[in-house]
Structure 1
Amino acid sequence: MCWSCNPYCGGCKPPKPKPIKCPECKAFNFGEEKNCKRCGTVLPEREPPPTVMCLYIGKLCANPCMRHKKEPREGEDAVCMWHTPAKDSE
């Protein structure tokens, strides 16, 4: 566990989406806006995170953290509060 959380790390929970840089005015835009907050230019689409098989809980996850790469320790419950079901698996 970390001493302080970096929201873009993705080690223990899914990383936050990185800000998008406006191609016109170079301003960084946080959030889900489609247009730049400064100049109104249409921003490029965000790439969705890849859907992966989570080894920790044994299910597909559409917004994985780094825990998906390792299995739970023996005797430990495999529960992930950050699990995001893939749209294909619904």
Structure 2
Amino acid sequence: MCWSCNPYCGGCKPPKEKPRKCTKCGTFNFDTSAQKCKKCGTELPERVKPPVVYCLYSDMVCANPCSKHKKSPENGGPVPCKLNTPPDNS
């Protein structure tokens, strides 16, 4: 059990998107919708999407998994997950 939550950890809930680092000036850009660096205006590298996995915890497919997907719940049956992200079918 954690003492405090690191939003980028992904242990008990899906991790937040990590900031993208500018390849020219090295500035970290936390704005997830930004396409250009906030400091120098250079095009930012593409975002890396997490893999779509089959979640053993909820018995569903998840596009933004936390580490709960790796093992079944202790009671044996699947548990509904309020954080499940269905994959984008586009």
Give the structure-1-normalised TM-score: 0.90
The Cα of 1:31 is off from its aligned counterpart by: 2.2
Contact 2:72 2:78 in 1 (8 A): no
1:41 corresponds in structure 2 to 42
Q: Deviations over 1:45-66 (max 9, x none)?
A: 0110000000001111000000
1:22 corresponds in structure 2 to 22
Distance in 2 (CA, whole Å) between partners of 1:67 and 1:75 is: 14
Contact 2:57 2:78 in 1 (8 A): no
Task: Give the aligned residue type for 1:85.
Answer: P
2:72 corresponds in structure 1 to 71
Unpaired segments ≥5 residues, structure 2: none
The Cα of 1:34 is off from its aligned counterpart by: 0.6
Q: Deviations over 1:3-46 (max 9, x none)?
A: 10011110000111111110111101012211000111110101
Q: CA RMSD in A?
A: 1.5
Distance in 2 (CA, whole Å) between partners of 1:40 and 1:28 is: 12
Residue 54 of structure 2 aligns to a residue whose secondary structure is strand
Identity percentage of aligned residues: 59
Structure 2 CA distance for partners of 1:14 and 1:85, relative to 1, 3 Å: same
Aligned length: 88
Distance in 1 (CA, whole Å) between partners of 2:55 and 2:76 is: 18
